[in-house]
Amino acid sequence: MKVIPIFIEAGISGFESPAAEYKELGLSLDQLLVSNPDATFIGLAQGPSMQEVGIFDGDLLLVDRSEPVKDGDVIVANYNGCFTCKFIDKKNARLLSASCKHQPVNITPEDEFQIEGVVTRSIRLHRQVKELSTCMR
């Protein structure tokens, strides 16, 4: 194999590195994304019913149990033993999907229903994390 010696210097294009413009924020992602660490948990979104509001299958959801639930919030709830992520329609006691392909779900007194928290952030993973997929499925 022939080796061609090429000497490369930083800034080969004549411009300073784009990273030189950025300053360290001095904050962690926890500090930037989580307001109430003791009341926040992470869930894994599954299914396409909330895509229209930017929550895709496989996204991480930051769910805050301490946030007051307002009409129209995106929430995570335990509905009849299954966790679901939907809009809450408190006035009409319904769960709403962002997609018109899914009908509203009426919450009746016979249903087992518990709001687990308000979705405050969603994080898209562009590369699947192996540890995450095995521990959350």
As to burial, measured by CB atoms within 10 angstroms (0-12 exposed, 13-18 middle, 19+ buried), residue 20 is exposed
Q: Which of 82, 74, 69 lies closest to 113, judged by CA?
A: 82
Which positions ≥6 away from 41 have C-beta within 8 Å? Answer: 63, 65, 117
Whole-angstrom CA distances from 67 to 38, 73, 106, 114, 130 are 12, 10, 23, 14, 31
Residues assigned a catalytic role: 49, 86
